Amino acid sequence: MELTLTSPLDMHLHLRDGEMLRTVAPLSARDFAGALVMPNLVPPLTTPEDVRAYKERILDAIGEEAFTPYMTLFFLPEYDYDFLQEVKDDILAIKLYPAGITTNSEGGVENFSLDALAPTLEAMSELGIPLCVHGETNGFVMDREAEFIPIYERIAKRFPNLTIIMEHITTKEAVDALMRFENLYATITLHHLYITLDDVAGGLLRPHLFCKPIAKRPEDRMALRKVAFMAHEKVMFGSDSAPHPRSKKEAPGCAAGVFSAPIALPALAQLFEEAGVLENLQKFVSDNAQKIYGITPPAKEVKLIKEPMAVPERYGDVVPMFAGQTLAWSVDGV
């Protein structure tokens, strides 16, 4: 059995910088035609110059591959219309992080009142710049995403022309909210389609599956699977692949993040085939994103074949999801 995907896209990707960038970027570029690259470097990307320079470093790391890094800017409430007009051509979206909610998000938003955010959001809406949101409060870890939903709703209502992407949704509540507003969309990761909190902390503790938002309950995973498997037009694949060196994952104070980029397509094919919906994978990993963002990625065919993939224990110093395990599908030629 085989499946050829046309221009697969990963609409939520952490490529990091420096040596890590050079390790992981070629792996995404190998399997995908493009990816939305997150701006949470240290310091975060907040100027057109930052974005352009980072894009150059990414292109340098990937070499000859046909792969478009779609760039993002780190949301600051002080961005005004003139600034956004200037930066518009360098980015596909702006990513909003609540302050301190995840890796390198310390400079994020503290005040979610519409008064505080409205000028920037108004300008984004007028200029047609989508808003990507890490939607979690600083409440109890299992409730953070559900607690954030009223904020999504306030923004969606006030700015009906603003395209809002609920990033890496993990709950039934988020799936429900998604359907209530026309301008809400969502990315779904590979790992949240596969795991629940049981896989992280139900047996022995599994730091390589520890991520933010944390994996939730079985009924939440079911809600995510339902919309992903039908390739609902409001959802698209975004791996949130987030590499950390082993020393940061395999020690007390383990950093949040699952590294899934290099095994994402085989693992998705396996899951979609098991669910009997392999024919919907093209929409989930490319077509929906093209429509939501209005983009045309490089023409690139990626052939998946139903032959076992032995997942490496590491890529460089990074342990991938399914390390040492065998997936039922592989990317042809990898």
The catalytic site residues sit at: 240
What distance in Å separates the CA atoms of residue 129 and residue 123, rounded to the nearest whole number? 8
Q: How far is the CB of 245 from its own copies (least distance, A)?
A: 14
Q: Based on CB atoms, which residue is closest to its own copies, 142 or 295?
A: 142
Q: Which SS3 state, helix, strand or coil, does residue 142 take?
A: coil
Query: Which residues would be at the binding site for its own copies (CB under 8 A)?
Result: 140-142, 196-198, 200-202, 204-208, 210, 214, 217-218, 249-256, 319
- The answer to whether residues 61 and 316 touch, using CB atoms and an 8 Å cutoff, is no
Q: How far is the CB of 86 from its own copies (least distance, A)?
A: 36
- The answer to whether residues 272 and 287 touch, using CB atoms and an 8 Å cutoff, is no
Q: How far is the CB of 306 from its own copies (least distance, A)?
A: 29
CA distances (Å), origin 239, targets 49, 150, 327: 26, 25, 17
Position 123, amino acid: A
Q: Based on CB atoms, which residue is closest to its own copies, 30 or 206?
A: 206
Q: Based on CB atoms, which residue is closest to its own copies, 191 or 232?
A: 191
Q: Based on CB atoms, which residue is closest to its own copies, 184 or 211?
A: 211
Q: Based on CB atoms, which residue is closest to its own copies, 178 or 214?
A: 214
Angle between helices 172-180 and 144-158 (to 10 degrees): 10
Instruction: Residue 302: name the closest of 271, 261, 274, 330 by CA.
Output: 330
Q: How far is the CB of 95 from its own copies (least distance, A)?
A: 21
The count of other CB atoms within 10 Å of the CB of residue 106 is 14
Q: How far is the CB of 99 from its own copies (least distance, A)?
A: 14
Instruction: Residue 36: name the closest of 158, 170, 185 by CA.
Output: 185
Residue located via tokens 């899951």: 271
Instruction: Residue 129: name the closest of 83, 173, 180, 196 by CA.
Output: 83
What distance in Å separates the CA atoms of residue 214 and residue 134, rounded to the nearest whole number? 12
